[in-house]
Amino acid sequence: MSATPVLHVDMDAFYASVATRDRPDLRDLPVIVGGGGRGVVLSANYLARRSGVASAMPMSRARRLCPEAVVLPPEFEVFDQVSFSVMEVFRQVTPLVEVLSLDEAFLEVSSAARRMGSPEEIAEWIRSTIHDEQRITCSVGVAATPVVAKLASRRAKPDGVVVVRPDEVTAFLHPLDVGELWGVGEKTRAQLHRLGLFTVGDLAHTPVRTVQRALGGVHGAQLHALAWGIDQRVLTPRSGPHAPDRSMGADRTFDRDTDDPDVVVTELLRLSAKVAGRMRSAGVAGRTVTIRVRFADFTTITRSRTLPEATDVTVEVHRVAVALFRALGLQRARIRLVGVRVEGLVPREQVHRQMHLGEREHGWSDAERAMDRATRRFGSSAVRPARLLGGAG
């Protein structure tokens, strides 16, 4: 077993990154995502942060600090979709995913070592996969315990990996400001400062009884233990308070805008295969197929169709996706992005498939499960639809 099996993955400036990923014109500008003049800052990119803009800050103050910033309204549906897709990537690694919020989670990756390599290699795979699929970056802390992994991910920002091995824990923790410890808010930090404790090392080398007298028995003992990197928490798999739990999807931004319907149909097949494969891995099926199409001018439309029965079969998802696309009746419109999502997910064992007249008993569903087995054994390029041969995986 690895000595550093815990990962803390944190998206970099999540809301701002998602809001600007299709806006290359904003790449070199400070950007704030938030409400109107009386609202608060939801997120700011790193250029805006250099001016002192921070999350939860009143928008009026943020505008004073960074008057040149571009302010974008939040698109919560898009944020939810991207978050869910990110969490799906995590669950490809391990079922032990504890979601903390829309943009961060802990993973316990011991079970994935034989299949995917060391925790550091898994962290790099997660970073590259999220960047490839969602075109945003994340930072990963790798350690033996959740509290150290979380602090390590902060040091990895932006877009990096920091590994803290067991023999490096005290050297890593003790120089940090005591306010960085999990569970130390402004009030507790002020109390510790009044005791002359400014760094984690100061706290660690203070008798635990002294800390308990100042902060209370339980809280004082917990913080003293954390100052030595001792964290008895066991990760609890959960979906988190914001992540949607009834859909799976994927999208693709083309390297160049396309007006070729065959290119779009092929990409819809690739996305349908990816989504259906993830559903089969998760043991779920869904009834509603949704496509998303974004045009060159960033106008975005969605179309959905609900099936009589839930499915996890690529051919069936693709058939509906193509029908929805064809129904748009586009005449050489230039398309920037397409996406496929399946909603209304239910456990696969709840689906009682009705056989149709003339349908083979062993059809596409069995064939795709055989493909899944081959893929797990020989890699993602072992078996794929003929239409995708020669294309990117």
Q: What is the pLDDT of residue 362?
A: 44
CATH architecture of 247-388: 2-Layer Sandwich (3.30)
Range list of H helices, the chain? 14-20, 46-49, 59-65, 76-93, 113-116, 119-134, 146-156, 169-173, 186-194, 200-204, 208-215, 217-226, 261-282, 314-327, 364-378
Output b/e per residue, 372-384; b: 16+ Cβ within 10 A: eeeeeeeeeeeeb
pLDDT of 36 over the 90 cut? no
Q: Which position among 104, 108, 316, 368 bears the catalytic label?
A: 104
Query: What topology does CATH give the domain 175-226?
Result: DNA polymerase; domain 1 (1.10.150)
- For the question of residue 104 being annotated catalytic, the response is yes
pTM, whole model, 2 decimals?
Answer: 0.67
- Residue 10 assigned to a binding site: yes
- The alpha carbon dihedral of 364, 366, 371, 372 has a sign of positive
127-168 pLDDT per residue, tens: 999 998 889 999 999 999 999 999 999 999 999 999 999 999
Tell which CATH classification among 3.40.1350.10, 3.40.640.10, 2.60.40.420, 3.40.1170.60 matches the domain 15-76.
Answer: 3.40.1170.60
Average pLDDT in the 251-259 region?
Answer: 88
Greater model confidence, 313 or 387: 313
Structure confidence at residue 361 as a pLDDT band (50, 70, 90): very low
Among 39-53, 147-161, 344-358, whose mean pLDDT is lowest?
344-358
Q: What is the pLDDT of residue 392?
A: 42
- Residue 312 assigned to a binding site: no
Domain ranges of the chain: 15-76, 175-226, 247-388
Going by their DSSP bridges, the two strands 70-72 and 31-34 should be labelled as parallel
Highest mean pLDDT of the ranges 35-44, 70-79, 144-153: 144-153
pLDDT of 393 over the 70 cut? no
